[in-house]
Amino acid sequence: MRGAAGAGGRSGPDAPLTVAVGQEELLLDRAVREVITAVRATDPDTDVRELGPGELAPGTLAELTSPSLFAERKVVVVRQSQDLGADVVKDVKAYLASPAEEITLVLVHAGGARGKGLLDAARKAGAREVACPRMTKPAERLAFVRDEFRGAGRSATPAACQALVDALGSDLRELASACAQLVADVEGTIDEAVVARYYTGRAEASSFAVADCAVEGRAAEALEALRWSLATGVAPVLVTSALAQGVRSIGKLASAPSGMRPADLARELGMPPWKIDRVRRQVRGWSAAGVSTALRAVAEADAAVKGGGEDPAYALERAVVTIARAARSR
């Protein structure tokens, strides 16, 4: 039986058509797995077929989605659908106009201009859409970690979530795995001490550890953390980003009105309350001139690691030393 793509009254993960849009591989995989799990909850014998652009020739989709004599449920997943050839795209659009009731189709699409016609057609057909954008900002990864713990029904302190992001960096799969491990191994609230116990080696190698040592005037420790970070594969641009964030936080707090409560100060400066306490400890010894000097050093290092210099490691070392000295400029 065939009808409109949005027919059937299903709008959840078992909807007849789902498009997972974005470039974050973990989220794309989860979107696909959510659909398969939902359909198999209704019919455990559901057949699942996953195909990439190279496995779909003209006519293949029609063959996979043709009605079965036994009304067999099937999930058909098309990966990298933005790269499908014109003839196959024509087949998919034809299917969207007359989908099979026992078929659940999942299109995994990177978004953007490539293959946009297919994505537009799926949306017009009433597809359920799951956004899977790449998480490039620290705040997005922090929110992801919070959601992982919340989804597992566990409580984690803001400092613990931040410590985990600082320790593991930008790999979402690694962050998700770490959250799952902590949930399985630790009882009660997950705090910063727990994260440090599990990931202390990684935390010491993080770009934020470098920044913390530098803005606190601990040049030798900052250099040691920097060299270890670079040796373990931390991208130089992440170090300059952390240094910039650390120095800017110092500048914001130093110029804030005195006497404000931490909660009010956090709202004013756009920082979580736990970070206000940390930056307050770091700001001692800093002067306005020192902040200016440190910001210039970060800007120079950032330009160097993005192609303006021959030796990114040396540029970072010079910036770290300059920042550590500026931290004692008062």
- Give the burial string for 26-47 (b: 16+ CB within 10 Å, else e): bbbebbbebbbebbeeeeeebe
Three-point CA angle 273, 275, 281, nearest 5° = 115
Pairwise CA distance, residues 198 & 91, whole Å: 51
* pLDDT values of the chain reduced to their tens digit, one per residue, 330 residues: 344 444 445 668 889 999 999 999 999 999 999 999 999 999 999 999 999 888 889 999 999 888 765 668 899 999 999 999 999 999 999 999 988 888 999 999 999 899 999 999 999 999 999 999 988 888 899 999 999 999 999 999 999 998 888 777 778 888 999 999 999 999 999 998 888 888 766 655 578 889 989 999 999 999 988 988 888 777 888 899 889 989 998 888 888 777 677 677 777 777 666 677 778 888 888 999 999 999 999 999 999 998 877 899 999 999 999 999 999 877
Cα 328 to the center of its chain, rounded Å = 36
Pairwise CA distance, residues 167 & 148, whole Å: 16
DSSP one-letter code for 257 = P
**Kind and range of the H or E element at 6?**
none
User: Environment class of residue 18 by beta-carbon count within 10 Å: exposed (0-12), middle (13-18) or buried (19+)?
Assistant: buried
pLDDT for the residue numbered 264: 72
Task: Judge contact between 216 and 282, C-beta under 8 A.
Answer: yes
DSSP one-letter code for 304 = I
Phi, psi of 106, deg, nearest 5: -120, 120
Q: What is the 3-state secondary structure (H, E, C) of 29-83?
A: HHHHHHHHHHHHHHCCCCEEEEECHHHCCCCHHHHHCCCCCCCCCEEEEECCHHH
Cα 116 to the center of its chain, rounded Å = 24
pLDDT for the residue numbered 289: 92
Tell me how long the chain is: 330
Domains of the chain, each with CATH number or no CATH: 17-60+69-132 (3.40.50.300), 138-199 (1.10.8), 207-327 (1.20.272.10)
Residue that the structure tokens 């005195």 belong to: 258
- 314: CB partners within 8 A, 6+ apart: none
Query: Whole-model pTM?
Result: 0.62
Task: Judge contact between 195 and 160, C-beta under 8 A.
Answer: yes
Three-point CA angle 19, 80, 169, nearest 5° = 90
In 87-240, beta strands by DSSP E? 103-109, 128-132
Structure tokens at 86: 């014109």
Q: How many CB atoms lie within 10 A of CB 102?
A: 17
Structure tokens at 23: 């470039």
Task: Judge contact between 250 and 214, C-beta under 8 A.
Answer: no
Name the nearest CA neighbour of 95 among 80, 105, 84. 105
21 DSSP β-pair partners:
109, 131
